[in-house]
Homo-oligomer: A and B are copies of this chain.
């Protein structure tokens, strides 16, 4: 099915402020590319296969811009520590288990199966240090129909011996040579400054300069972490500058930095200059007591931004939850930190989850002509109300209910994934 039309109640973002909603609309897919949404199906598309979803909602696919697939095994456990202690007590010991390929296989199966039933169509995921395990994750995601980036994690200090490489650059090259997937592509993934020696970070910077591969890492998440980075890199002007000195802060290729809870004006300015993406992970920042990221300031500064579940500090693969928590976090930022920073409107948070994160892939996250055809079909009849059914209110309700059971079908670059 390469040319088809979906019929339903279609909602998508035209801009951060503008949601388009078409009851009984037609979304046209031609060879994986969206040809737009129409109230009446144009003559030229009437020969396409029509899939009528009745009164279901059809929204663009959501991009999870920051997710640690191997941590899905521990998510929802032991949320009593802050970042650095939590990594040492729970996360590093868990990730070390992924040297065992059969453990990786079983664990990633659960993650990928649950992801299928979520509104996520694209993702930027961390694997672990292990080449074989990470390739296994990529294979499973590819087979399930997803599009995305997956990174073998690079780390060589301040972690247990079981999670420390002696030649991280060599390991990276070995992994890259085996990344032969169509829709799941590799992304450079230095864990974060505390876990990467200067040598390793410099090698990754060089590799990115040669290959122009994208890169993902963490930035300014927690005060203790930030103090540690200052200690490790006393010459850096700020956390982001510690990356930038190695060329791993957007100058050599597209780059995502997760969290940015404590990014100040200088860091924000550098991110803008270097086109760095923010992956805003509100639930994770709540659960690890990190704080709240200044998303309104990021928007005002014109930064690229999307949302991440940040499994396993986030506790669900559901991007519905990420949208809800992003709104809540922005309200608390306004109330408790800075009343000049207006909370996110629903349309803005929905934008971040679809078009905001999707733009990391080029044209993704909307139904405008020329965008990749990523769609999520939602049957919200289980969420009952006697109220009149305004499309946007229906969508808002699904998202606040955080109910992935409503997701019945997905399309990723036109490839159908059955969820219901």
Residues of A within 8 A of B (CB): 73-80, 103, 106-107, 110, 283, 286-287, 289-292, 315-316, 324, 327-328, 331-332, 334-337, 343, 345-346, 383-387, 393, 396-402, 405
The copy count of this chain in the complex is 2
Within the complex, which residue of B345, B386, B393 is in contact with A106, where a contact is CB–CB below 8 Å? B386
Verify B401–A80 contact, CB threshold 8 A.
no
Contact B335–A396 (Cβ < 8 Å): no
Query: In the complex, what residues of B have CB within 8 A of residue A384's CB?
Result: 110
In the assembled complex, the Cα of A110 lies from the Cα of B383 at a distance in Å of 9
A147 vs B183: C-alpha distance when bound (angstroms): 54
Which among B289, B334, B383, B387 is the interface contact of A289 at CB below 8 angstroms? B334
Expressed in whole angstroms, the Cα–Cα distance for A27 and B274 within the complex equals 61
Contact B386 A327 (CB under 8 A): no
Question: Which residues of the other chain, B, contact A76 by a CB distance below 8 angstroms?
Answer: 383, 396-401
Question: Do A289 and B331 touch across chains, with their CB atoms under 8 A apart?
Answer: yes
Main secondary structure of the interface of A (DSSP, over half): helix
Inter-chain contacts of A77 with B (CB < 8 A): 387, 393, 396-397
Point out the residue from B289, B292, B328, B335 that lies within 8 Å of A343, measured CB to CB. Answer: B289
Q: How far is the CB of A390 from chain B (nearest CB, A)?
A: 9
Closest 6 CB pairs of A and B: A76-B400, A76-B397, A315-B400, A289-B331, A286-B328, A336-B336
Query: What residues of B have a CB within 8 angstroms of the CB of A337 in the complex?
Result: 336
Give the Cβ gap from A389 to chain B, nearest Cβ, in Å: 11
A292 CB contact (under 8 Å) in B283, B332, B393: B332
Contact B103 A400 (CB under 8 A): no
- Give the distance to chain B from A365, nearest Cβ to Cβ, in Å: 22
